[in-house]
Amino acid sequence: MKFEHLPTPCYVVDQKQLRRNLEILESVTSHTGCRILLAQKAFSMYAVYPMIGEYLNGTTASGLYEAKLGAEEMGKENHIFSPAYREDEFDEIASLCGHIVFNSFSQLERFGARAREKDCSIGLRINPEFSTQEGHEIYDPCAPGSRLGITPANFRPELLDGVEGLHFHTLCEQDSDALLDTVKAVEEKFGPWLSQMKWLNFGGGHHITRPGYDIAALESCIKRIQETYQVQVYLEPGEAVALNAGYLVTTVLETLQNEIQIAILDTSAACHMPDVLEMPYRPPLLHSGEPGKKPCTFRLAGPTCLAGDVIGDYSFDAPLKPGDRLVFADMAIYSMVKNNTFNGMALPAIALQEENGDCRIIHEFGYEDFKNRLS
């Protein structure tokens, strides 16, 4: 099927760009000997897991369901971190995951023996209390009062028996300079215990596949840590795996004017791209400009009841009209995994654009998908 014939709304993953990202990540593993896992929370389109598995070492999960998905669909290394595990899920998690990361010594004491019985490698998430980002407190695990990771004050070296790894995740869409500073803080605060470990997980938030990212600095940091402490370094990026590797194709349903020109689309920021409202950010839109740059500026908005269901203001060469198709870019990550059916909005179809340009619909959703979640 041709791109122009896809139904809308539709997420389309660009296999060529996905492969480009995976080649970059694989080159980091081959230059350094580190291991890279897909953080499924960002991108769980398992139709492409076999391809991702050709390049990466496995998956990491935030809970039982992602752990099951990683085991079933990729079947390579399977790691998990959760701030708190459920009693009734833990044994299944331990049978699915080779590596389990605990968020506190209390969780380690509660579940450690059950993890060891299943031969899991046990790790602890540490919090170096070193923020490298401003203005996005909800994405900063090092913000004061954070529940994520053990701070130096709460670290209890006397309980490390059987602990094989440490894990930190503190970055969000950052370059390697932020990682280097963070690693320095980790060494200052947790250095005495690093050599006791078999592995150190640098978490996600590394924008490795973004043009201009300093890959050489990342690689030398990984090599230095591995050599100094004799640990296996893991990275678990989500965004970097599918960065700029997806679109959300949508149709203009209606236009109207209220001091400004407005176009109502068949997609919703609240339902289909919630990060646009949460971050917030303005998603790239093909063939458009900043407001005022081209002759016709429109506010693009969703059809839900939420007054703030606004994607952003964009300008075009010609006025928008019902039936026009618009294509948002960078829509593979934190989109499908976060969408919802608020207002009874249909979920976008999921399609793959293959390397020869042809598109294939992988899944379409309907009324039953909406209804089945509600009672």
Instruction: Write out the residues near ligand PLP by the rule CB under 6 A.
Output: 39, 41-42, 81, 169, 172, 203-205, 236-240
User: Which is nearer to ligand PLP, 240 or 252 (by Cβ)?
Assistant: 240
Beta bridge partners of 254: 264
Q: Are 281 and 275 in contact (CB under 8 A)?
A: yes
User: Which is nearer to ligand PLP, 1 or 84 (by Cβ)?
Assistant: 84
DSSP 289-305: BSTTTSSEEEEEE-SSS
User: Which is nearer to ligand PLP, 210 or 282 (by Cβ)?
Assistant: 210
Instruction: Write down the least CB distance from residue 144 to ligand PLP, Å.
Output: 18
DSSP 304-362: SS-TT-EEEEEEESS---TT-EEEEES-STTSGGG---GGGPPPPEEEEE-TTS-EEEE
Judged by phi (left if over 0) then psi (alpha if -120 to 50, else beta), residue 137 lies in alpha
Instruction: Write down the least CB distance from residue 123 to ligand PLP, Å.
Output: 11
Instruction: Write down the least CB distance from residue 157 to ligand PLP, Å.
Output: 23
Instruction: Write down the least CB distance from residue 252 to ligand PLP, Å.
Output: 31
What whole-number distance in Å separates Cα of residue 116 and Cα of residue 38?
24
Instruction: Write down the least CB distance from residue 213 to ligand PLP, Å.
Output: 12
Q: What are phi and psi of 161, to 5 degrees?
A: -55, 125
Instruction: Write down the least CB distance from residue 54 to ligand PLP, Å.
Output: 20
What whole-number distance in Å separates Cα of residue 184 and Cα of residue 125?
17
- Please, what is the end-to-end C-alpha distance for the chain in angstroms? 36
275 labelled as ligand-binding? yes
Q: Are 99 and 77 in contact (CB under 8 A)?
A: yes
- Residue ranges of alpha helices (H) inside the chain are 15-32, 49-55, 64-73, 87-96, 105-117, 176-194, 215-229, 239-242, 269-272, 275-278, 367-371
User: Which is nearer to ligand PLP, 53 or 237 (by Cβ)?
Assistant: 237
User: Which is nearer to ligand PLP, 41 or 272 (by Cβ)?
Assistant: 41
What whole-number distance in Å separates Cα of residue 44 and Cα of residue 39?
8
What whole-number distance in Å separates Cα of residue 211 and Cα of residue 228?
30
Residues 6+ apart with CB under 8 A from 288: 294, 314, 315, 316, 326
What whole-number distance in Å separates Cα of residue 192 and Cα of residue 172?
27
Instruction: Write down the least CB distance from residue 56 to ligand PLP, Å.
Output: 13
Tokens of 288: 């458009």
Instruction: Write down the least CB distance from residue 274 to ligand PLP, Å.
Output: 14
Q: Are 326 and 9 in contact (CB under 8 A)?
A: no
User: Which is nearer to ligand PLP, 18 or 349 (by Cβ)?
Assistant: 18
User: Which is nearer to ligand PLP, 42 or 69 (by Cβ)?
Assistant: 42
User: Which is nearer to ligand PLP, 166 or 359 (by Cβ)?
Assistant: 166
Q: Binding site for substrate: which residues?
A: 239, 275
